[in-house]
Structure 1
Amino acid sequence: MKIVAKPIDVLAKFNKEGVPTPIKFKIVGEAEAEVAIKVDRVLTRELEKLAGNKMFIFRCQSAINGVEKVYELKYGLETCKWMLFKI
């Protein structure tokens, strides 16, 4: 997987404890067009503490342009921001 580290817009649902689950996200493609990608499966969810910042790391799988790809999304608990980290 290649590290991308781009901020993204995510549609997510939260459980009663406040733990998010991504449903779909938007990313700006090569032609400066927004591409919406549906999260087909969340493979793993981990809580990471890096430099004092707590983040959820989601390893997900989706069909992107007809090809099944595995990628990582990160959600910062203090900042409430999403990032496409690896694809």
Structure 2
Amino acid sequence: MLLKKFLFPYFPLEQEHMFVYNKDNKTGGIAMKLLNKQIDMISWTSKEGVVTPVRFRIEEDGKSIVIRIGRILQTEKNMFGGTPTLSFRCASHICGQEHIYEVTYNSGSQKWLLKKY
């Protein structure tokens, strides 16, 4: 249900919107909720090995929804359980509203996650 509000903000909202744009007083960052949902991703890889996510597909209530990544705000290389991962903080315009979220690529399992929204 929460993911539906992220992807389809024009649906009637029964609850509070899932994005929390409150600035953290200490860090100045945006507070986001943790999701960790597997997604299908189309990405580019340069000949130097730089990975760039382009768009992803997610399943919600038996429907496939495609989100085009508008811009990449931040990229981080991390280690998760001894496996290198790439985290991308991205922004997309969905139905006229900008949404910020984080997708992560695990190079060990070669899977993408919609990690935070």
**Do they fold alike, i.e. is TM over 0.5?**
yes
Question: How do 1:1-87 and structure 2 match up within 5 A?
Answer: 1-29=32-60, 31-87=61-117
1:19-38 CA-to-partner distances (Å, cap 9, x unmatched) read 21000000113x32111000
Q: Distance in 2 between matches of 1:46 and 1:73?
A: 11
Higher relative contact order (CA 8 A, sep 6+): 1
Larger helix proportion of the pair = 2
Runs (4 or more) in structure 1 with deviation over 3 Å come to none
Q: Distance in 2 between matches of 1:33 and 1:65?
A: 18
Q: Secondary structure at the match of 1:73?
A: strand
Question: What is the Cα deviation at residue 17 of structure 1?
Answer: 2.4
Question: What is the Cα deviation at residue 14 of structure 1?
Answer: 0.3
> What letter corresponds to residue 87 of structure 2 in structure 1?
I
Aligned residue pairs total: 86
> What letter corresponds to residue 65 of structure 2 in structure 1?
V
Structure 1 unaligned segments of length 5 or more: list them: none
Question: What is the Cα deviation at residue 64 of structure 1?
Answer: 2.2
TM-score norm. by structure 1 comes to 0.91
TM-score norm. by structure 2 comes to 0.69
Larger strand proportion of the pair = 1
Q: Secondary structure at the match of 1:70?
A: strand
Compute the RMSD of aligned alpha carbons: 1.1
1:30-53 CA-to-partner distances (Å, cap 9, x unmatched) read x32111000000011110012201
- 2:24 match: none
Structure 2 unaligned segments of length 5 or more: list them: 1-31
Q: Distance in 2 between matches of 1:9 and 1:26?
A: 5
